[in-house]
Chains A and B, each alone.
Chain A
Amino acid sequence: MLNAQKRKTILLLIPIILVLVGYVLYPSIETMIESFKRNGTFSLENYQDFFGEKANANLEALWNSVWISLLSVFFSALIGIPLAYIFNRYDFPGRKFFSSIAIMPIVLPSLVGVMAFMYLYGEAGLIPNMIKDLFRLSEVPFSIGGISGILIVHAYTMYPYFYMTTSSALNNIDPSLEESAYNLGANRFEVFWKITFPLLTPGLVAASLLVFMVSMASFSAPFLLAGGFRVLSLQIYFSKMNGDLEMAATQSIILTVVSISFLLFMRWYQNRRDYRMASKGIGAHRSEVNNPFLKWCMVTIGILAMIILLLPHATLFILSLVPEGGWTWQTYPQIFNLDNYRLLFDDPNIWDPVRNSLIMSFIACIGVFVFGIITSYALVKRKFVGKNLLDILVMIPWVLPATVVGMNMILAFNKASIFSFGHILVGTFWILPLAYFVRFIPLVVRSTTAVLEQMDDSIEEAAQNLGAKWFYTFRRVVIPIIMPGVLSGTLLAFVQAVGEFPTSVLLYTLGNRPISIEIMNQLRMFNMGQAAAYGMIQVGLIAIVMIISSKFFKVKADNAL
């Protein structure tokens, strides 16, 4: 019956809407309200302060964030696109191996990655000092820090977005398109600029916007490297630490506006033109490199790239072997042993953050798992008014910079409300799992939606036709089919939650401090060995999840992001 269908849809939508309104929309609105308050009364003073002469530090931070992000896009593209082109279009010894190394930066959680870079290329870093000793220089030849540091870290961590979109776009181009262009008389150059490149543009634009948004939101790199340099995401944190919640709210709103306008622009661009291939089932075609000189050039590029890409991982591993006090004033670490790993299991103080992170991430992931299944099902398989609106609501946490999500949580749950069942959540254990939950809703919804869209409607109809009720069909047919997608999304959310830094630093308490906070603490105490050991745990978890995803769920690492 028509009404029965509608009733089911409504029953599905009620919990979805409750959760989204309570934990996504309401906190954002609270932040917005807060931004218009000054000492408890409505005013525009915060915005005047932001844009006015009084505090041009804010305006400067906004401007810095924007141009740093633009440069990050530029450098990421500069590395990612040629690398993807070389690895996907030419065949040479070791190609497969190099191309799998190319996405290695994504296994480094941002905070851990920044830390590795600091000890690699920083003032006291291993590489500059090694060069100095090797060439007997009086001073280190170079070191990263401040703007250059942020940019290099951004380029390293974000070029995989370009690499992966370009690779998949290149592999999706039907070879016969290029062949027919050659057949019609175009030369190599013309084929690239008139056929290949236009077909790559949608992916490139998407990647550019993604990198722009991610680097606008970037927190760990400026946090550790900026020095006196101001960016907006960091300003929010400082305002909050100084107790100026109203200013923090205003800064959050402005960062949100910039991010959301980019999301809207991206959606508009993606819907503008349809570049989907008319033909299906195409194999990649690679030209074999026969010229021995060129061939070895490419192999050299591959090896060099591999070394540079894996140095941070290696550094992290080496540092994790340096016990407390094993590297103080000396140029290089002096002692290596497994103390840091042993302490993890012996010293409850050291183990606690790991346990906290695992428990909190687990709780959040059960949440996103259930919520993700229901929400994607409603979005893909049900018809209702306002679907677009719901879709946008789901994607909001993805656009919001993590710092903003953290601020929203603080401003919404530092007082009792119906959504927190009458409790004040800030300062308790539960605020962090909740923040992780909100942060990773879009990730799971997107991975689930992808598999649900693959599932033909007739599958459900067949079950119904054979006499199965809706819930039975959902349980026995729909869920088993979509499980790989849901699980791979959830696992990814899990490892990202374990590494989550920006929301953690705003919301943690002594009792539930997660790994990332402890890494920060250990760094402050110059105990980089222990910090690196924590980092290795995160890297290990991510590696395990990636292997599970690709081996058991047949989900490629690049699809997971």
Chain B
Amino acid sequence: MSTVNLSKITKQFGSVTAVKNLDLLINEGEFFTFLGPSGCGKTTTLRMIAGFYYPTKGKVLFNDKDMTAVPPEKRNTGMVFQNYALFPHMTVFENVAFGLKVRKLNRTEMKKRVEEVLKKVRLEQYMDRQVSQLSGGQQQRVALARALVIEPDILLLDEPLSNLDARLRDEMRNEILRLQRDYAITTIYVTHDQVEALTMSDRIAVFNMGVCQQIGSPIEIYNEPVNDFVAEFIGETNLLPVIFEEQADKQRVYRTQDLDVSIYVVDEKPHIANYKDSDELVMSIRPEAVQIVGEEKEGENILRGEVSLVQFTGASVHTYVTLENGVTIRTTDLNKGPSIYLQEGKKVNVQLPANQIRVIPKARM
């Protein structure tokens, strides 16, 4: 068990900067996720922790021990690769035992530990199979077992579920979480799937273009994104450019040029992100927070429009409302029966509740 401390890490490949000036502290036993679109630097960071890349600048510390220059085989991390990287010429047992063999464990101890971990991942009956005879989910579990059996200080998972089909992915998500809780290992998980990140992590670091945008718990990241990239990448949202208009009592008033109306926002920390005067601002409101109200309703933040598309997904219903000047607002309601299904073309008003809006700066590139 270890903490991982990345301090001022920069990694360059030739003239391309893959990771820029990254500071990160991962706590002991934490399930920490690197989340971002492809090419954002998350895998590069993971590989620097594993030791396959060396940072151009900065330090990698495990428990205050400087690991920056330590070769991968001496770091005692357990990594699960995206394609599992199982040794094709070995059986399940031999694959899992590989790390122990390298550590020169005696045979009986080795057998005991391999059997133990295979039982944990529920593969004990497949011990003597060749890995090519296993299904994708089973191979995944062999890779996990192989990484766990060496009792690593840190477990590194590089998009481990991206090669599985949707149902298996759900199952493996729970499996990985269960194993992580059992072993209480500091775990770093790389993914581009926000659902995985939100459901599994203790904390998430959101990456874009080599820069870490925000670090926080799933709730913080979803409810209080620091900029428009984070807001848009995680979950669905409606973004409208705004400028500050005036300070009112317990509210701030912003104006959207697109709609030419004033938007009232509760003047509290969860609703107004930190920004500088020079930042361009946008307001973000999640679809589930937008309310569709009758045409006659009057009040703050009410916009007139017409239903342009109704999407039925089963659990919920997405209703797209196109406002008078062409901006489309997306709303989501739980499926409570036919009473909430609207006709396309129906004139409606939407309300953006002042206590559900968050004003955030645009991400700087």
Residues of chain A touching chain B, judged by Cβ–Cβ distance below 8 Å, are 1-2, 4, 456, 458-459, 461-469, 472, 476-477, 480-481
Q: Across the interface, do B146 and A466 meet the contact criterion of CB distance under 8 Å?
A: yes
| B85-96 Cβ-contact flags toward A at 8 Å (1 or 0) | 111110000000
Q: Across the interface, do B71 and A467 meet the contact criterion of CB distance under 8 Å?
A: no
Q: Across the interface, do A467 and B103 meet the contact criterion of CB distance under 8 Å?
A: yes
A interface, over-half SS:
helix
Binding stretch for chain A, among B33-41, B74-82, B166-174:
B74-82
Q: Across the interface, do B88 and A481 meet the contact criterion of CB distance under 8 Å?
A: yes
Residues of chain B touching chain A, judged by Cβ–Cβ distance below 8 Å, are 50-52, 54, 69, 71-79, 81-83, 85-89, 98-99, 102-103, 146-147, 150, 156
- Residues in B neighbouring A466, C-beta threshold 8 A: 73, 78, 98-99, 102, 146-147, 150
What are the 4 tightest A-B residue pairs by CB atom distance, in nearest-first order?
A466-B99, A462-B85, A458-B85, A458-B81
Among residues of A, the one whose C-beta sits closest to the C-beta of B87 is: A477
Q: Across the interface, do B102 and A468 meet the contact criterion of CB distance under 8 Å?
A: yes
- Residues in A neighbouring B156, C-beta threshold 8 A: 465
- Residues in B neighbouring A480, C-beta threshold 8 A: 89
- Residues in A neighbouring B82, C-beta threshold 8 A: 458
- Residues in B neighbouring A461, C-beta threshold 8 A: 50, 52, 72, 79, 81, 85
Q: Across the interface, do A481 and B87 meet the contact criterion of CB distance under 8 Å?
A: yes
Among residues of A, the one whose C-beta sits closest to the C-beta of B89 is: A480
Of the candidates B89, B103, B146, the one whose C-beta lies within 8 Å of that of A481 is B89
CA distance A54 to B87 in the complex (A): 66
Cβ distance B220 to chain A, nearest Cβ, rounded Å: 32
Among residues of B, the one whose C-beta sits closest to the C-beta of A461 is: B52
Q: Across the interface, do B85 and A456 meet the contact criterion of CB distance under 8 Å?
A: yes
- Residues in B neighbouring A462, C-beta threshold 8 A: 79, 81, 85-87, 146
CA distance A464 to B53 in the complex (A): 13
Of the candidates B72, B76, B78, B88, the one whose C-beta lies within 8 Å of that of A464 is B72
Q: Across the interface, do B78 and A465 meet the contact criterion of CB distance under 8 Å?
A: yes
- Residues in A neighbouring B98, C-beta threshold 8 A: 463, 466, 468, 476
Of the candidates A459, A464, A476, A477, the one whose C-beta lies within 8 Å of that of B73 is A464
- Residues in A neighbouring B77, C-beta threshold 8 A: 465
Q: Across the interface, do A467 and B99 meet the contact criterion of CB distance under 8 Å?
A: yes
Q: Across the interface, do A467 and B73 meet the contact criterion of CB distance under 8 Å?
A: yes
CA distance A469 to B89 in the complex (A): 19
Of the candidates B83, B88, B150, the one whose C-beta lies within 8 Å of that of A467 is B150
CA distance A2 to B156 in the complex (A): 22
Cβ distance B127 to chain A, nearest Cβ, rounded Å: 18
- Residues in A neighbouring B83, C-beta threshold 8 A: 456, 458
CA distance A459 to B81 in the complex (A): 9
Q: List 11 A-B contacts (CB under 8 A).
A: A4-B71, A461-B50, A461-B79, A462-B85, A462-B146, A464-B52, A465-B79, A466-B98, A469-B102, A477-B87, A481-B89
CA distance A375 to B82 in the complex (A): 29
- Residues in A neighbouring B69, C-beta threshold 8 A: 1
CA distance A467 to B97 in the complex (A): 12
- Residues in B neighbouring A472, C-beta threshold 8 A: 102
- Residues in A neighbouring B146, C-beta threshold 8 A: 462, 466
- Residues in B neighbouring A2, C-beta threshold 8 A: 54
- Residues in A neighbouring B99, C-beta threshold 8 A: 466-468
CA distance A472 to B71 in the complex (A): 15
Among residues of B, the one whose C-beta sits closest to the C-beta of A477 is: B87
- Residues in A neighbouring B89, C-beta threshold 8 A: 477, 480-481
CA distance A114 to B71 in the complex (A): 58
CA distance A422 to B213 in the complex (A): 67
Cβ distance B119 to chain A, nearest Cβ, rounded Å: 20
CA distance A529 to B252 in the complex (A): 107
Known: A459-B87, A467-B73, A477-B89. 8 other contacts (CB 8 A): A458-B81, A461-B85, A462-B81, A462-B85, A462-B87, A465-B75, A465-B77, A469-B73
CA distance A284 to B146 in the complex (A): 39
Among residues of B, the one whose C-beta sits closest to the C-beta of A473 is: B73
- Residues in A neighbouring B102, C-beta threshold 8 A: 466-469, 472
- Residues in A neighbouring B76, C-beta threshold 8 A: 467
- Residues in A neighbouring B85, C-beta threshold 8 A: 456, 458-459, 461-462
- Residues in A neighbouring B87, C-beta threshold 8 A: 459, 462-463, 477, 481
CA distance A469 to B147 in the complex (A): 16
- Residues in A neighbouring B79, C-beta threshold 8 A: 461-462, 465
CA distance A458 to B88 in the complex (A): 12
Q: Which of B98, B150, B156 has the most CB of A within 10 A?
A: B98
Cβ distance B341 to chain A, nearest Cβ, rounded Å: 40
CA distance A459 to B146 in the complex (A): 13
CA distance A2 to B85 in the complex (A): 23
- Residues in B neighbouring A481, C-beta threshold 8 A: 87-89
Cβ distance B144 to chain A, nearest Cβ, rounded Å: 12
CA distance A472 to B99 in the complex (A): 11
Among residues of B, the one whose C-beta sits closest to the C-beta of A484 is: B89
- Residues in A neighbouring B86, C-beta threshold 8 A: 462
CA distance A469 to B88 in the complex (A): 19
Among residues of B, the one whose C-beta sits closest to the C-beta of A1 is: B69
Q: Across the interface, do B88 and A465 meet the contact criterion of CB distance under 8 Å?
A: no
Cβ distance B91 to chain A, nearest Cβ, rounded Å: 13
Cβ distance A254 to chain B, nearest Cβ, rounded Å: 43
Cβ distance A372 to chain B, nearest Cβ, rounded Å: 19
Q: Across the interface, do A465 and B50 meet the contact criterion of CB distance under 8 Å?
A: yes
Q: Across the interface, do B72 and A465 meet the contact criterion of CB distance under 8 Å?
A: yes
- Residues in A neighbouring B81, C-beta threshold 8 A: 458, 461-462
CA distance A533 to B77 in the complex (A): 62
Cβ distance A384 to chain B, nearest Cβ, rounded Å: 16
Instruction: Using A458-B83, A459-B85 as known contacts, say yes or no to A1 and B78 having CB atoms under 8 A apart.
Output: no
Of the candidates B54, B73, B103, the one whose C-beta lies within 8 Å of that of A465 is B73
- Residues in B neighbouring A458, C-beta threshold 8 A: 81-83, 85
CA distance A476 to B85 in the complex (A): 15
CA distance A456 to B85 in the complex (A): 8
- Residues in B neighbouring A456, C-beta threshold 8 A: 83, 85
CA distance A464 to B88 in the complex (A): 16
Q: Which of B69, B78, B87, B103 has the most CB of A within 10 A?
A: B87
- Residues in A neighbouring B103, C-beta threshold 8 A: 467
CA distance A229 to B51 in the complex (A): 66
CA distance A192 to B147 in the complex (A): 52
Q: Which of A1, A461, A465 has the most CB of B within 10 A?
A: A465
- Residues in B neighbouring A463, C-beta threshold 8 A: 87, 98
CA distance A464 to B79 in the complex (A): 10
Q: Which of B78, B88, B147, B150 has the most CB of A within 10 A?
A: B88
- Residues in B neighbouring A467, C-beta threshold 8 A: 73-74, 76, 99, 102-103, 150
CA distance A461 to B86 in the complex (A): 11
CA distance A477 to B102 in the complex (A): 12
